[in-house]
Amino acid sequence: MTDKNAHQDQETIDFGYQQVKRQEKESLVANVFHSVAAKYDLMNDVMSMGIHRIWKRFTIDCSGVRPGQKVLDLAGGTGDLTAKFSRLVGERGEVVLADINNSMLKVGRDKLRDKGIVGNVSYVQANAEALPFPDDHFDCITIAFGLRNVTDKDAALRSMFRVLKPGGRLLVLEFSKPVAEPLSKVYDAYSFHVLPKMGQLIVNDPDSYRYLAESIRMHPDQETLKGMMEQAGFEQASYYNLTGGIVALHRGYKF
């Protein structure tokens, strides 16, 4: 690799299938989620035919969260996981719903308050790469469908490791790579032809959903992400393929 190419690799990063300046990606991703925030829950139900609820329930079941614990729901968006964790940790526990996007955070806060979920939930606008929390603070961190949008995923994983307590665990729920070629072809056709049309019809924004499809393809596969977690310091890293690998749940521990 030439010095010029090495410099270019450091200065640019993927935004879907485009290469953009590293410092521009955060604002470009922000624009996507400002656009889709108001109908994010509706689109999740339509896009996944409701299956995202099963994926999230599995994440909760694998979390091992108990009463009195502290949980960080990172890139928590509209608060699906936060709502469930709030009930699990109880009055003595704490759940922080954190998201870098203030539009998503506002939708999540309004939704949870409308459900009467108050008291043990707080809201923080935060960048996953530089979390504004003390060392060794949380018993569990989840990040669901958010890691692929982070500019520096390695920095984010290190930041999550720092704020976890010893004995704590990270769960990463994210779109991944289908394990069977026929499923992969069907999934590609759905992602690149159907999703943008849904985005056009429901939120009048096909480009954001085209980006979301592309960002899924650019995200590290199951084994690569497992290796990245281990590199960040997590031990006993493992993953579960869900719906044929369309989604994977990665889990790792801090000891």
Q: Report pLDDT digits (tens) over 191-230.
A: 888 888 888 888 788 888 888 889 988 999 999 999 999 9
Secondary structure of the chain: what % helix, strand, coil (to 5)?
A: 55, 25, 25
Q: What is the pLDDT of residues 77-120, one digit of tens each?
A: 889 999 999 999 999 999 999 999 998 999 999 999 999 998 99
Q: Is 78 annotated as a binding-site member? A: yes
Q: 91: which 2 tokens?
A: 């009055």
Q: What is residue 3's predicted lDDT score, i.e. its pLDDT?
A: 42
Beta pairing class for 12-15 and 18-21: antiparallel
Q: What is the pLDDT of residues 25-75, one digit of tens each?
A: 888 777 777 777 777 778 778 888 899 999 999 999 999 999 999 999 999
pLDDT band at 10 (very low <50, low <70, confident <90, very high): low
Rama region for 79: left / alpha / beta (φ>0; ψ in -120 to 50; rest): left
Type and span of the H or E element at 140 = strand 138-144
* Rounded average pLDDT over 226-249: 98
Q: Is 99 annotated as a binding-site member? A: yes
Q: 242: which 2 tokens?
A: 């869900």
Q: What is residue 126's predicted lDDT score, i.e. its pLDDT?
A: 95
